[in-house]
Amino acid sequence: MNKDKLILELEALCEQAGYRIRKERGVFRGDSCVMEGDKLIVVNKNRPVDSQIGILARVLKNLDTEQTYIKPAVRRELIEIWDRLELTTDNNFKDS
């Protein structure tokens, strides 16, 4: 699946889960948080698309997506990304 299309699909899933997404520039990796009761995902738009996809996929991994319809192609991509995230976490990999 095209990375630009995948990021749009992941953003839509995160928004469907109640998150607001902000794309900012700066010296940060990006992550999710709750600010004043609002669920927020901050993505560094200066980072590579793969890194931005990783941030969104990490947020979705922590949600219960079993009851959410996810297009089969997107779900396949997510499972592949989640598997890679587990490997990097197991190896104490730090994203720069």
**Average pLDDT, rounded, for the chain:** 90
Inform me whether the pLDDT recorded for 25 exceeds 80: yes
- Count other C-beta atoms under 10 Å from residue 10's C-beta: 25
Inform me whether the pLDDT recorded for 94 exceeds 80: no
Closest CA to 33 of 70, 7, 58, 5: 58
Handedness of CA 13, 17, 20, 22 (dihedral sign): negative
Of 25 and 92, more confident: 25
Q: pTM of the entire structure?
A: 0.86
Confidence category of residue 90, pLDDT binned at 50, 70, 90: low
CATH number of 3-88: 3.30.2010
